[in-house]
C-alpha cells in the first residue's frame, strides 16, 4: 500500500525545494526544479517578512506613544501636586489670617448691633418728639 501524502521541504541555502517525489530537486538526480515555484516562495517569504517587520514597527510605535503619554501624565501629576501644595499653603495662611481677624470681626458685629439699637432709639425719639410737638400745638391753641 502506497502513501499518497506529499511533503515539501526547503533544503540548503540555495532555496530549492524538495517535493518529496524522490527527485531531490537536483537536476543531476533527474528531478526538475520549477523556477516559478522558487520565485513564488521567495516572494512569499519576503512579503511575510515585510508584514511582520511592519507589525513589529507598529507595536514599537505604540510603545513609544504609551511611553510619551506616561511621561506627560507624570509631568501633569507633578504640576498638580505642586499646585495643590501651594493651594494648601495659601488656605492655611488664609485660615490663620481669619483667626487673627476674628476678634475684630466680633467687635464689628457688636458695633453693628449697637448702631441698629441706636437707630431704633432715634426713630422712637423722633416719633415721641413729633407726638409731643403735636400735643404742644393743641395746648397752645387753647
In a domain, 97, yes or no: yes
How many C-beta neighbours within 10 Å does residue 41 have?
16
Q: Considering its fold, how many domains does the chain have in total?
A: 1
In a domain, 1, yes or no: no
In a domain, 111, yes or no: yes
In a domain, 21, yes or no: no
Residue 35 banded pLDDT, cuts 50, 70, 90: confident
Report pLDDT for 33.
Answer: 73
The backbone region for 20, taken as left when phi is positive above 0, alpha when psi lies in -120 to 50, beta otherwise, is left
Host domain of residue 50: 32-141
How many C-beta neighbours within 10 Å does residue 25 have?
22
> Per-residue pLDDT for 22 more than 90?
no
In a domain, 26, yes or no: no
> Per-residue pLDDT for 104 more than 90?
yes
Region 61-69: mean pLDDT is 97
Percent of the chain having pLDDT more than 90? 70
In a domain, 25, yes or no: no
Report pLDDT for 31.
Answer: 57
Report pLDDT for 6.
Answer: 45
In a domain, 23, yes or no: no
In a domain, 10, yes or no: no
Amino acid at each position: 500500500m502506497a502513501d499518497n501524502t506529499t511533503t515539501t521541504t526547503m533544503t540548503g541555502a540555495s532555496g530549492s525545494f524538495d517535493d518529496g517525489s524522490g527527485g531531490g530537486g537536483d537536476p543531476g538526480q533527474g528531478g526538475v526544479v520549477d523556477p516559478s515555484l522558487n520565485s513564488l516562495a521567495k516572494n512569499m517569504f519576503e512579503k511575510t517578512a515585510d508584514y511582520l517587520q511592519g507589525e513589529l514597527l507598529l507595536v514599537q510605535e505604540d510603545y513609544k506613544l504609551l511611553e510619551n503619554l506616561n511621561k506627560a501624565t507624570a509631568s501633569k501629576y507633578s504640576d498638580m501636586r505642586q499646585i495643590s501644595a501651594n493651594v494648601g499653603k495659601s488656605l492655611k495662611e488664609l485660615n490663620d489670617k481669619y483667626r487673627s481677624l476674628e476678634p475684630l470681626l466680633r467687635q464689628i458685629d457688636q458695633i453693628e448691633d449697637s448702631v441698629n439699637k441706636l437707630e431704633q432709639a432715634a426713630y422712637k425719639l423722633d416719633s415721641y418728639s413729633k407726638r409731643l410737638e403735636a400735643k404742644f400745638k393743641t395746648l397752645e391753641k387753647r
